[in-house]
Amino acid sequence: MAEKKTVRIVLGVTGSIAAFRAADLASAMGKEGWEVHAVLTADGARFLPALTLAALTHRPVHTSLWEEGEGGRMSHLDLAQTADVVVVAPASADFLARTAHGFAGDVLGAVFLATRAPLVIAPAMNSNMWIHPATQENVKLLSSRGVIWAGPAEGRLACGAEGPGRLAPTTAILGVVKKVLQKGKSR
């Protein structure tokens, strides 16, 4: 009987007030039995300490493009090549813009460009930022490249505004990832 393969998730966390909710998402992914490798951008680290993600994933958190992996390999390439799914939650407007235009100046951008795994983005930002034509053009461009979206949800935002831009609930993001994994199994 073939051994069941462990699902490897790369969880990217960018600079958004919703970053604290990535801790709940990382925990929920671990409860699914998935191996979670967290990537924290510098802006994301302003909202969520790497230590929190390390404690929840039981793995070091990737924060630098220059980390050395096994055998002298670059860790961002190892992450990109071994991921079953790359999830970015929360994804800021800045991340969407940089990613849409192929910027790879940090570890998360490099993983995004180097992977062949499905890409799931869960945006979180102010409503005006979400509906801005520049952001919507970036969403269209990323969608045309196969990005799968989890949200955003509508509701009260940290800034007090009401509208789209809220990070989707953890259960909704997990549901999207499960569908992506199921689709991968049926190929």
Q: Catalytic positions, please?
A: 159
Nearest-angstrom CA–CA distance, 105 and 21: 25
Q: From 127, 130, 123, select the one nearest 159 (Cα to Cα).
A: 127
For residue 145, give both structure tokens.
Answer: 């490249």
Three-state secondary structure of 7-49: CEEEEEECCCHHHHHHHHHHHHHHHCCCEEEEEECHHHHCCCC
Count of beta carbons in the 10 Å neighbourhood of residue 2: 4
Q: Are 120 and 45 in contact (CB under 8 A)?
A: no
For residue 4, give both structure tokens.
Answer: 């069941």
